[in-house]
Amino acid sequence: MLKDSLLTAKRPGTGISPMLINNLIGKKIKKDLPKDTLLKWSDLK
């Protein structure tokens, strides 16, 4: 489950917009991702 403490906004980026971080909190991901991996909508369940 995604928590605010697990997410970091980085620029420039092509992943999910940092403005949408609140929409990600509490969502589950399909599999464990390595640290600093660019999160994509397709990674979410």
pLDDT digits (tens, 9 = 90+) for 1-39: 888 888 888 877 788 888 888 899 999 999 999 988 888
Query: Which three-class secondary structure state does DSSP give residue 44?
Result: strand
What is d(CA 12, CA 25) in angstroms, rounded to the nearest whole number?
22
pLDDT recorded at residue 31: 93
Q: Is the pTM of this model over 0.85?
A: no
> Domain locations in the chain?
1-28
Tokens of 18: 């940092």
Q: What is the pLDDT of residue 44?
A: 92
Q: C-alpha 16: how far from its chain's center?
A: 7
pLDDT at 43 over 90: yes
pLDDT at residue 14, rounded to an integer: 80
